[in-house]
Amino acid sequence: MADTTTTTSTTTQGASVGGAMLGQKGVKQGMAGNDGIVVDKNKSQEQYIADAEAKYIIPAIVREKFPDLVKLIYETESMNEEEREYWLQIMPIMSEDQIVKFREILVNERDQLAKLDKEYNHEMSKIDNKAPVQPLDETKRLEEINKIKTAEAAQNKKETGEEEALLGQLNSL
The domain limits of the chain are 15-129, 139-173
Distance CA 107, CA 116 (A): 14
pLDDT at 36: 58
pLDDT at 128: 74
pLDDT at 57: 76
- Find the angle CA(13)-CA(18)-CA(19) to the nearest 5 degrees: 45
Q: Which residues, including other chains, have CB under 8 Å from residue 61's CB and lie 6 or more apart?
A: 91, 92
Q: Which residues, including other chains, have CB under 8 Å from residue 8's CB and lie 6 or more apart?
A: 86, 89, 90
Per DSSP, the three-state class of 22 is: strand
C-alpha separations of 58 from 65, 88, 149, 151 in Å: 12, 6, 76, 80
pLDDT at 54: 75
pLDDT < 50 stretches in the chain: 1-34
pLDDT at 38: 62
pLDDT at 4: 41
